């Protein structure tokens, strides 16, 4: 009887030792240990993770001054989720550059600053409320304004960051849902112009944003397709459809603390379809 107890005790010790000595699933696949929820290139970014990142866009213009053109957009962004709290802070600013060609000059533009806070009542990304401001820091000179305008379609959800003299209140609600390998994100937002300096869109002072993304989470990366829609709620345009702009994006993001991202952004509206080709690249550190 005593020998039986000793054998069982030794077997238990061997099992524990084997488990301690063997690499765990978290060690073998480090992105699981530090994994955050799925992110997107063109939708709102707020979720339950703290992050800082850089997004770079390469915009090929079919017609700039009668010839093809090239513009780039560089955006620094970040957000901080207060530990053990349901609140977070975010911010972002972008720089654009339009390269010269044989018939048109180059230019560099600074965007407006986008800052604000968000609240997650469930302490998760299931439901996210955002309250923010776009502050008027965008370049006012002609070359800077042209550069900002050339890159406005890369992140259409942040369209109002590109135009000078705008002070904008941003209100939105978002959700991120996951089921097995599949995920979904939706944003519903309103951008309300508090001050437009009488320079923007005439009598338009309110914009609606409706964004959707869906994809799959594979072991090394996330694959997603994203749809962004923004338009004027009021204004001089005759029909609601004429007031909206749309882009669709196909992209991927690696998983883990250090995420590398890439995607192609396609404007869908008649006046810019096949006129602008956009490659969006990015890196972000999350925790």
pTM for the full model?
0.85
Q: Which domain holds residue 224?
A: 37-286
Mean pLDDT of 89-117: 95
Task: Return the pLDDT at 63.
Answer: 87
Q: How confident is the model at residue 201 (pLDDT cuts 50, 70, 90)?
A: low
For residues 263 and 37, which has the higher predicted lDDT (pLDDT)?
Answer: 263
Per-residue pLDDT reduced to its tens digit, 24-75: 333 434 444 457 889 899 999 999 999 999 999 999 999 888 889 999 999 9
Q: Is the pLDDT of residue 88 over 70?
A: yes
Q: How far apart are CA 64 and CA 70, in angstroms?
A: 8
Task: Return the pLDDT at 138.
Answer: 95
Burial 64-88 (b: 16+ CB within 10 A, else e): beeeebbbbbebebbbebeeeebeb
- 124 and 169 share a domain? yes
Q: How far is CA 174 from CA 18, 46, 212, in A?
A: 45, 8, 10
Q: Is the pLDDT of residue 149 over 50?
A: yes
Q: Environment class of residue 201 by beta-carbon count within 10 Å: exposed (0-12), middle (13-18) or buried (19+)?
A: middle
Task: Return the pLDDT at 53.
Answer: 97
Average pLDDT of the chain is 87
Q: How confident is the model at residue 205 (pLDDT cuts 50, 70, 90)?
A: confident
Q: Which two tokens stand for residue 30?
A: 């480090």
- 122 and 253 share a domain? yes
Q: How far apart are CA 138 and CA 20, in angstroms?
A: 56
- 15 and 124 share a domain? no
**21: part of which helix (H) or strand (E)?**
helix 2-21
- 17 and 82 share a domain? no
Structural contact between residues 77 and 154, judged by C-beta atoms closer than 8 angstroms:
no
Task: Return the pLDDT at 236.
Answer: 60
- 16 and 101 share a domain? no
The total of structural domains in the chain comes to 2
CA dihedral 64, 70, 73, 74 (to 10 degrees): -150
Mean pLDDT of 166-173: 96
Task: Return the pLDDT at 196.
Answer: 77
CATH number at residue 66: 2.40.160.40
Task: Return the pLDDT at 1.
Answer: 47
Q: How far apart are CA 201 and CA 136, in angstroms?
A: 16
- 7 and 29 share a domain? yes
Structural contact between residues 262 and 280, judged by C-beta atoms closer than 8 angstroms:
yes
Q: Is the pLDDT of residue 102 over 50?
A: yes
Q: How far apart are CA 134 and CA 123, in angstroms?
A: 26
CB neighbours of residue 28 within 10 Å? 9
- 136 and 156 share a domain? yes
């Amino acid at each position: 009887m005593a020998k039986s107890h000793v054998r069982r005790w030794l077997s238990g010790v061997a099992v524990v030792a084997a488990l301690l000595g063997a690499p765990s699933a978290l060690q073998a696949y480090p992105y699981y240990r530090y994994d955050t929820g799925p992110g997107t290139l063109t939708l709102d970014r707020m979720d339950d993770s703290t992050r800082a990142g850089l997004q770079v866009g390469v915009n090929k213009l079919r017609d700039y001054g009668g010839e093809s053109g090239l513009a780039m957009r560089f955006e620094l962004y970040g957000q901080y989720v207060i530990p053990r709290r349901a609140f977070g802070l975010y911010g972002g600013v972008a720089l654009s550059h339009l390269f010269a060609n044989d018939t048109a000059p180059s230019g560099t533009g600074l965007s407006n600053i986008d800052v604000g806070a968000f609240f997650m009542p469930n302490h998760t990304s299931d439901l996210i409320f955002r309250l923010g401001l776009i502050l008027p820091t965008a370049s006012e000179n002609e070359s800077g304004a042209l550069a900002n305008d050339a890159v406005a379609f890369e992140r259409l959800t942040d369209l109002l960051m590109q135009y000078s003299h705008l002070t904008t209140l941003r209100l939105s609600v978002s959700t991120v849902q996951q089921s097995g390998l599949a995920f979904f994100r939706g944003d519903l937002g309103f951008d309300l112009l508090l001050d437009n300096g009488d320079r923007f869109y005439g009598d338009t002072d309110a914009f609606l944003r409706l964004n959707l993304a869906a994809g799959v989470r594979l072991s090394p990366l996330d694959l997603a397709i994203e749809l962004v829609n923004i338009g004027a709620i009021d204004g001089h345009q005759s029909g609601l459809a004429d007031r909206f702009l749309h882009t669709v994006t196909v992209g991927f993001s690696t998983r883990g603390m250090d995420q590398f991202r890439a995607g192609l952004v396609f404007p869908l509206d008649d006046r810019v379809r096949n006129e602008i080709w956009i490659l969006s690249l990015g890196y972000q550190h999350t925790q």
